[in-house]
Amino acid sequence: MAKEKELKDQRIPIMMSETELSAIDDWSFKNRIRSRGEAIRRLCQIGLISDEAKIGAQRDEPFKAEAAAAILGLDHVFDDAVRAVVRAIEEGEISETEKPAVQSRIAEAQRQLDLINAKILGNG
């Protein structure tokens, strides 16, 4: 079963230097992320996963660290693919009759990614 989306209703005021914000904007542009908030959330997730991977590696679990990095990479590829499909739907490149099948494939891909995450990393 796919995880329910958590409501993003918590605000955190944050002060950053111009250099830090510029680095976030550059990363966001490179990864085709439209909002600063989403970029900051993603970078936090990467940091947390990286930290978990580091802890796993310190416990002599290099496979788990590599798996975390691989799953994170898959998650980014999946997000990019979903954005491309949404764009194609908006631009009429995917017809209304094809849309349910495409949405079903996206849901199944997300389910598989969640299963991999749960089985390999125990995050499910």
pLDDT one-digit tens code per residue, 11-40: 889 999 999 999 999 999 998 888 999 899
- Percentage of the chain lying above the pLDDT 90 cut: 15
pLDDT band at 88 (very low <50, low <70, confident <90, very high): confident
Could you give the CA distance from residue 104 to residue 54 in angstroms, rounded to a whole number? 35
Q: Are 71 and 117 in contact (CB under 8 A)?
A: yes
pTM: 0.43
Which residues are CB-neighbours of 93 under 8 A, at least 6 positions away? none
Report the length, in residues, of the chain.
124
pLDDT band at 1 (very low <50, low <70, confident <90, very high): very low
pLDDT of 51 above 80? no
SS (H, E, C) 26-66: HHHHHCCCCCHHHHHHHHHHHHHHHHHHHHHHHCCCHHHHH
**Domain ranges for the chain:** 19-121
The stretch 96-102 carries a mean pLDDT of 85
End-to-end, the C-alpha distance of the chain in Å comes to 9
